[in-house]
Amino acid sequence: MLTELSTEIIDHMLHNQYFGRIGCSAENRILIEPVMFFYDGLYIYGITRAGTKIDMVRKNPNVAFEIDEMVNPGVWHSVLIEGEFEELQGEVRDSALYLLKNRKVPVFANEKPGTLTQNPTEAEKTVHPIVYRIHIKSKAGRSLRL
């Protein structure tokens, strides 16, 4: 039977998960990507790198965010959030980085994480973190138990 999740269960799931998926769209293109996140009760915080996702949310900050929990094939829970993407700077960014301290910038094997104070050279494949948050406009959850 499909049921709605309570606000308490939705918040519990968001507080206890580390991985989710962000969906964005711009210029007739749709993208869904896995991300590591932190939920503080008000916002979804994340850390990422420059790329297609960032290009898209800079053009259209409206995003969807989703997490799942599958207990077995007949029991699962899912939370869906609609919100607005915001890149963070200054003290707000620093506070978010503290919350995200155990999350890492995604890098490929031939890259290394960098900081904002570094000036990357062409020879170095350094990835500089982009810190963001999602302003939650709505959240809903569903559960299936067969």
In tens, the pLDDT along 33-58 reads 999 999 999 999 999 988 999 999 99
Query: What integer pLDDT is reported at residue 134 of this predicted model?
Result: 98
At residue 105 the predicted structure's pLDDT band, cuts being 50, 70 and 90, is: low
Query: What integer pLDDT is reported at residue 61 of this predicted model?
Result: 98
Closest of 103, 58, 64, 98 to residue 81, by C-alpha: 64
Query: What integer pLDDT is reported at residue 101 of this predicted model?
Result: 80
Q: Domain 2-104+127-145: give its CATH code.
A: 2.30.110.10
Q: How far is it, in rounded angstroms, from Cα 63 to Cα 23?
A: 6
Query: What integer pLDDT is reported at residue 115 of this predicted model?
Result: 56
Spell 48-70 as b/e; 16+ CB within 10 A means b. bbeeebbebbeeebebbbebeee
Query: What integer pLDDT is reported at residue 128 of this predicted model?
Result: 75
At residue 103 the predicted structure's pLDDT band, cuts being 50, 70 and 90, is: low
When the pLDDT of each residue in the chain is averaged and rounded to a whole number, the result is 88
Whole-structure pTM value: 0.84
At residue 112 the predicted structure's pLDDT band, cuts being 50, 70 and 90, is: low
Domain spans of the chain? Answer: 2-104+127-145
Closest of 96, 114, 122, 90 to residue 37, by C-alpha: 96
Query: What integer pLDDT is reported at residue 22 of this predicted model?
Result: 98
